[in-house]
Amino acid sequence: MKQKILVAAFGLALSANANATIFEWTADELAVQESHAEELAFMSKIAAEDAYQELRQDYVLSKEDIPFVEALIFERESRKATYNILCKKPWERVANKKRIDDLYQDSIDVRLLTYNDKVAGSNISIALRFAEHMGVSRENYSKIINLGLSVAKHRRVDPNYNYDIEVMDSLRNYLKKTQLIEVLSAKHALPCIKKGVATWNELQNAGMVMDEDSATCCNQAIDYYTMECVINEMFVGHEKQLKKNLSDLWKQQPLIVRMSGSLRNKEELTSKKNDNDPEVNDLKW
- Per-residue pLDDT tens for 191-246? 999 999 999 888 888 777 777 788 998 999 999 999 999 999 999 999 999 999 99
pLDDT tens, position by position, 147-202: 999 999 999 999 999 999 999 999 999 999 999 999 999 999 999 999 999 998 88
Is residue 209 domain-shared with residue 276, that is, in the same domain?
A: yes
Q: Which residue has the higher pLDDT, 210 or 122?
A: 122
Task: Give residue 207's pLDDT.
Answer: 78
What distance in Å separates the CA atoms of residue 53 and residue 181, rounded to the nearest whole number? 37
> Which of these three, 90, 111, 132, is where a domain ends?
111
Task: Give residue 24's pLDDT.
Answer: 85
Question: Measuring CA to CA, how many Å separate 120 from each of 154, 174, 242, 282?
Answer: 9, 16, 24, 53
Is residue 189 domain-shared with residue 248, that is, in the same domain?
A: yes
Task: Give residue 277's pLDDT.
Answer: 63
Contacts 24+ apart (CB under 8 A), 50-59: 51/76, 51/77, 55/108, 59/112, 59/115, 59/116, 59/119
Is residue 151 domain-shared with residue 163, that is, in the same domain?
A: yes
Is residue 103 domain-shared with residue 58, that is, in the same domain?
A: yes
Is residue 263 domain-shared with residue 222, that is, in the same domain?
A: yes
Count the domains in the chain: 3
Is residue 129 domain-shared with residue 208, that is, in the same domain?
A: no
Question: Measuring CA to CA, how many Å separate 16 from each of 12, 39, 58, 78, 103?
Answer: 6, 20, 27, 13, 20
Is the pTM higher than 0.75? The answer reads: yes
Is residue 43 domain-shared with residue 130, that is, in the same domain?
A: no
Is residue 189 domain-shared with residue 154, that is, in the same domain?
A: no
Half-sphere exposure of 2 (CA within 13 A, CB side): 1
Is residue 102 domain-shared with residue 14, that is, in the same domain?
A: yes
Q: Which of 233, 199, 230 is nearest to 217 (CA)?
A: 199
Is residue 85 domain-shared with residue 105, that is, in the same domain?
A: yes
Q: Is the pLDDT of residue 269 over 70?
A: no
Q: Which of 132, 141, 130, 120 is nearest to 59 (CA)?
A: 120
Is residue 51 domain-shared with residue 154, that is, in the same domain?
A: no
Task: Give residue 80's pLDDT.
Answer: 96
Is residue 67 domain-shared with residue 138, that is, in the same domain?
A: no
Residue numbers of the domain that contains 134: 120-175
pLDDT tens, position by position, 3-51: 444 444 444 445 444 444 667 899 999 999 999 998 898 889 999 999 9
